[in-house]
Amino acid sequence: MRALCWVAADELAVREVPDPELRNERDVIVRVRRSATSGVDLPLLAGRDPLLRAGDVLGTEFLGEVVETGPAVRRHRVGDRVVVGASVACGGCWYCRRGRHSCCDNGGTDVASVDPGLGRSDAGCFGRPRAAGGFAGGHAEYVRVPYADVGAFRVPDAVGDDRALFAADAAPTGWLAAELGEVRPGDVVAVWGAGAVGQLTARAATLRGAARVLVVDRHADRLRMAERHAGAETLDYRSTDVAAELRERSGGRGPDVCVVAVGVPPTRSVADRLTGRDVDRPDAVREAVHACRKDGVVVVLGGAPGHVDAFALGAVTDKRLTLRGSRRPDLRDVPMLLHRMARDELRTEHLATHRLPLEDGPRGYALFADRADGCVRAVFTP
Ligand SMILES: [Zn+2]
């Protein structure tokens, strides 16, 4: 089959790779109908993950049709149209039984490869290197989906592919951010980053009853989307004193909840150069910690750098902040999000700004990485 593979830093290619096969009785094979680029792919593209190998198939977010099922699969039949959650989780471990699929003990299968400084590995993930389980991703004609009863979800007939696709990753990540932030009716919520996850975090906050949602970015087209589709107010940080504006729009206190959804900052710090470690300048995190009201919650999403320097720990203690984070979404919210999509409460298809054949994958990623031509997500069809 054909698949979009990582070859070397900043080099992708569509290659012929072996068809996936059932390896476990709980697997299904899915024929892909749509797959999308993701912000967490960008450090991989740049070759910043030492565990990535030439030929690894990328693609975190995908949707397709079940074409083969293992003998222990109960919830899926051949022909089902399914969206597959980005997190690979077993469904049976201590975390999965509590709905914390993103913390699954069995999804990421190479714990030893995770930086010891991070403690433990999180769940597995499609289209990621060994530390996240080494599962081939969805930028391909076919994908093996492990633990299919846990991670694949039948899409209601009323929801089209271009909408349901984002129930795999961006929508549940945004929902999880609002949940981790404990967004309550009447809250003021600030979101840094107006990409797909930032926009869907803003929408989740609105659906949970936030009184005001403010999205911070510099891309005018993304900010317009956040206004139109998430009902958010927007701040262009190039022309606005963000901290002052957030105070002004939150009764002088600062937002109740601050979510950082900017993906991985490209800059590297002095400490990074000195130590050679994966240390980045978390400007948006610093701004969020500074802006958040006392006793508020700061949520950091996505592929944040492993280590940061000059973190304002004093602000966390002095302002008794709650600091939370997640790299991957849980799976438990996917059915609820699909129902909201079916009821037209949650629209996501506008995020697919560029639709391309899989053959044009390298070009799609170039557009996405550069945010060129208004690209929010490039969506591929095999
Ligand atoms: Zn588990």
Model pLDDT for residues 101-149, shown as the tens digit of each residue? 999 988 876 656 555 556 666 788 999 877 778 899 999 999 999 999 9
CA distance 362 to 365: 5
**Is the confidence at residue 265, as pLDDT, over 70?**
no
**Is the confidence at residue 21, as pLDDT, over 90?**
yes
H helices of 262-379, in order, are: 270-275, 283-291, 313-318, 334-342, 361-370
Task: Please give the distance, rounded to the nearest whole angstrom, from the Cα atom of residue 99 to the centre of ligand 1.
Answer: 9
**Is the confidence at residue 267, as pLDDT, over 50?**
no
pLDDT of residue 266: 45
Task: Please give the distance, rounded to the nearest whole angstrom, from the Cα atom of residue 280 to the centre of ligand 1.
Answer: 30
pLDDT tens digits, 40-59 = 888 888 877 777 889 999 99
H helices of 39-169, in order, are: 42-45, 94-97, 148-151, 161-164
| Predicted TM-score of the model (pTM) | 0.93
H helices of the chain, in order, are: 42-45, 94-97, 148-151, 161-164, 170-180, 196-207, 220-230, 242-248, 270-275, 283-291, 313-318, 334-342, 361-370
pLDDT of residue 295: 98
pLDDT of residue 311: 80
pLDDT tens digits, 219-242 = 999 999 999 999 999 999 999 999
pLDDT tens digits, 160-215 = 999 999 999 999 999 999 999 999 999 999 999 999 999 999 999 999 999 999 99
pLDDT tens digits, 282-341 = 588 889 999 999 999 999 997 655 667 678 889 999 999 999 998 889 999 999 999 999
The DSSP element (H or E) to which 7 belongs, if any, is strand 2-8
List residues bridging with 192 in a β-sheet. Answer: 216, 260
pLDDT of residue 50: 75
What are the structure tokens assigned to 93, written together? 């471990």
Task: Please give the distance, rounded to the nearest whole angstrom, from the Cα atom of residue 87 to the centre of ligand 1.
Answer: 10
pLDDT of residue 48: 75
CA distance 1 to 62: 16
CA distance 364 to 336: 30
CA distance 302 to 174: 10
The size of the chain, in residues, is 382
Task: Please give the distance, rounded to the nearest whole angstrom, from the Cα atom of residue 332 to the centre of ligand 1.
Answer: 12
**Is the confidence at residue 279, as pLDDT, over 50?**
no
Task: Please give the distance, rounded to the nearest whole angstrom, from the Cα atom of residue 93 to the centre of ligand 1.
Answer: 4
Task: Please give the distance, rounded to the nearest whole angstrom, from the Cα atom of residue 331 to the centre of ligand 1.
Answer: 11
132 close to 108: Cβ distance less than 8 angstroms:
yes
Task: Please give the distance, rounded to the nearest whole angstrom, from the Cα atom of residue 272 to the centre of ligand 1.
Answer: 34
What are the structure tokens assigned to 222, written together? 């993304």
pLDDT of residue 112: 60
**Is the confidence at residue 91, as pLDDT, over 60?**
yes
**Taking the C-alpha atoms of 74, 79, 83 and 88 in order, what is their torsion angle to the nearest 10 degrees?**
40
CA distance 221 to 219: 6
Task: Please give the distance, rounded to the nearest whole angstrom, from the Cα atom of residue 147 to the centre of ligand 1.
Answer: 10
Task: Please give the distance, rounded to the nearest whole angstrom, from the Cα atom of residue 174 to the centre of ligand 1.
Answer: 21
pLDDT of residue 305: 56
Residue in this structure with the two tokens 């053959």, named with its chain if needed: 359
Task: Please give the distance, rounded to the nearest whole angstrom, from the Cα atom of residue 146 to the centre of ligand 1.
Answer: 12
Return the amino acid letter for 343: R
Distances (CA, A) of 319 to 190, 201, 290, 296: 17, 24, 9, 8
**Which residues have CB under 8 Å from 314's CB, separation 6+?**
none
pLDDT of residue 117: 59
Task: Please give the distance, rounded to the nearest whole angstrom, from the Cα atom of residue 180 to the centre of ligand 1.
Answer: 20
